[in-house]
Amino acid sequence: MAREAAAADAAAPGAGGVKPQGTLPKGKVAGLEISRLILGTNIITGHMHGRELRYLNDLSLRYNTDERILQTFALSEANGIDTFMTHHEPRVMRLLKQHRSATGGKMKLIVAPEPKARTVEDYKRVVQELVDAGADGIYVHGATTDPMMAQGKIDLVVKFVEIIKATGLPTGAGCHWLDSLKALEAAKAPCDFYVKTIHHHNYPTAPKKEEISKPWRELPPVYWCSNPEETIAYMKTVEKPWIGFKVMAAGAILPREAFRYAYSSGADFILAGMFDFQVAEDAAIANEVLAKIPKRDRPWRG
């Protein structure tokens, strides 16, 4: 019923002016204060991981009209979610700008250059475009980091990080593969934060033991953190803030369980894709989970 009520609120005229419903705990990444629950992008930009349900991307794109996306931004802010993470996608960048300018929205933007930007010159150009568009933080997309690491191009990934760092904005790197993060740490890439997958394997389509050792690009499209226990152990040694993503394994794990696992495992922030009718409930769940988290093995890093 909570999600149905939120959906009705989102559909109502003037939803862009919704009244504040609550707040969320916050932390800092290189001085940038952000909510511990962050609005993700795949549902909005049509990059859903629907397993065999191939129609889901088209369905999400048809549902998420421009007006609906603006309502999602407004509802997120009203419920304490003050940061949106996405990639360089013209439509969503235009809508966030509209949200900020037309309604006075304060939603912060942490954004990644499109993964197709693979040369130094392309990367410099796109990063400057994102700075000009009002980015509050920029990171290397996981779909850039992991393939390049697999090809032995760690120096190029580090160069991309350095290009972002030169802007003076909070700088990060994303990855699905723990080896990528380890390589960035070993190379002393000037990251201010990491964006790393984290979810458990207690769901029906979770990986089989013989699949877990495969490189990220060879993994079945049903999980995104092949070694959660190793990830948790390694991240205890990392002093930079950690934004956990794919925490619900693309819908296989319910939010309450997923959020509790990610925060308890050491993630300082979590990224969650949400339809408008899920925002209020997910924010409430994050608040509840955070209030009950016992002392963590990994100190809060942000």
Comparing 30-34, 78-82, 202-206, which segment has the lowest mean pLDDT?
202-206
Higher pLDDT, 114 or 11: 114
Average pLDDT rounded to a whole number, residues 284-301:
95
Say if CB 263 and CB 270 are below 8 A apart.
yes
Angle at 157 between CA 152 and CA 161, to 5 degrees: 160
Look up the pTM and report it: 0.90
* Block residue for tokens 């950690």: 242
pLDDT tens across 117-131, in order?
Answer: 789 999 999 999 999
User: Is 257's pLDDT higher than 80?
Assistant: yes
pLDDT reported for residue 215: 63
User: Is 7's pLDDT higher than 50?
Assistant: no
pLDDT reported for residue 51: 74
HEC-encoded secondary structure of 151-186: CCCHHHHHHHHHHHHCCCCCEEEEECCHHHHHHHHH
Comparing 197-201, 244-248, 277-281, 292-296, which segment has the lowest mean pLDDT?
292-296
Say if CB 85 and CB 136 are below 8 A apart.
no
- What is the gyration radius of the CA atoms in the chain, in angstroms? 18
Go through the domains of the chain in sequence order and give each one's CATH number.
2-292 (3.20.20.100)
